[in-house]
Homo-oligomer: A and B are copies of this chain.
């Protein structure tokens, strides 16, 4: 059973996953070896290589765990957290621990072995988002889960270990510290000003225009004023919505277009950089906890961060929480905006 341990100083939880254990000499293999087709567990016809599927889109029907799918969601074979069991939160001498209960799923974006997300058709990207929405809706019913993170590691420098295009989902028994910080800030802002922080950021960005990369009826893509990484972008819904999984079908089509344009601009302007994509949505259990960040339908807005991994994270970043970024977001914006126009 994986184990969660809490840092006694900063309150950070660490997931210890012995099933993902690797020998010291194996740690170093940073380059991702291309998977041979016969070894690719995400290929059509290889459905038996994965645990039984949790969700799939099969437009022409067909049995579960067989071919004929366009998107398929399966449990991670080497999960960081396990669905079975109880949390058993407890003191461990001076420290705090709990069992690593949660879910770790893989959204296989396409049956094709080499089709990156930005090269998919608009319906193709939309299907991936539908699969994410459906899984979050399902997992939100499990009362042990407080939060779901949807994320995508593209390329070895971004932590991917499998080249076949996929997104991941981890459901957690606690609301993560990074999300709590955003929720607290949004709440404090709302209480002080009676306005939504994310709406005000969007207004500031649309008024200035210097950091606007792309916009359609549903979403605005911009390079954040205090971007951590060169060419970092934020994809923000234009209408107030705390929960990603409350998105309408029309919302998902608009989001698919925004992602396609942005990831396409990265691919053409920066030569297919590795990147991390993170979706921050509101926690599920907000009525059960008395904290100040729990009534956030009006003050928090779900959004996506895309972090190209062109620069590393080193001692300064770990030691301060600050980042050194050599590229101003205004410069990054002009490069990316140009690429979306000619993409």
Give A contacts to B, CB under 8 Å: 3, 5-18, 20-22, 24-25, 27-28, 30, 80, 92-95, 149, 151-153, 157-160, 168, 170, 172, 176-179, 181-182, 185-186, 197, 200-201, 203-204, 207-208, 224-228, 230, 269-271, 273, 276-280, 305, 307, 310-316, 318-328, 335
CB contact under 8 A between A12 and B322, given known A7-B226, A328-B18: yes
- Which one of B11, B13, B276, B313 contacts A315 once the chains associate, using CB atoms below 8 Å? B276
User: A25-B271, A200-B94 are contacts. A314–B159 as well, Cβ < 8 Å?
Assistant: yes
Measured CB to CB, the closest approach of chain B to A321, in angstroms, equals: 4
Instruction: Report the nearest B residue to A271, measured CB to CB.
Output: B25
Which residues of B sit under 8 angstroms from A224, Cβ to Cβ? 7
Distance of A61 from chain B, by nearest CB (Å):
34
A14-B324, A27-B310, A153-B315 are known; give 16 further A-B pairs, CB within 8 A. Answer: A5-B225, A5-B226, A8-B226, A14-B228, A16-B325, A16-B326, A22-B326, A24-B270, A25-B271, A28-B273, A30-B30, A149-B320, A151-B319, A176-B320, A181-B321, A307-B318
Give the CA-CA distance A92 to B210 in the complex, in Å.
13
Residues on the B chain within 8 Å of A200, using CB: 94
Which of the residues B159, B181, B314, B324 comes within 8 Å of A10, measured between beta carbons? B181
Q: Is the CB of B226 within 8 A of A323?
A: no
When chains A and B are docked, how far (Å) is the Cα of A325 from the Cα of B270?
31
Cβ contact within 8 Å between B95 and A226: yes
Q: A18 — which chain B residues lie within 8 A by C-beta? A: 326, 328
Contacts A313-B313, A326-B22 given; does A149 touch B14 at CB 8 Å = no
Residues of B contacting A201 in the complex (Cβ-Cβ under 8 angstroms)? 8-9, 94
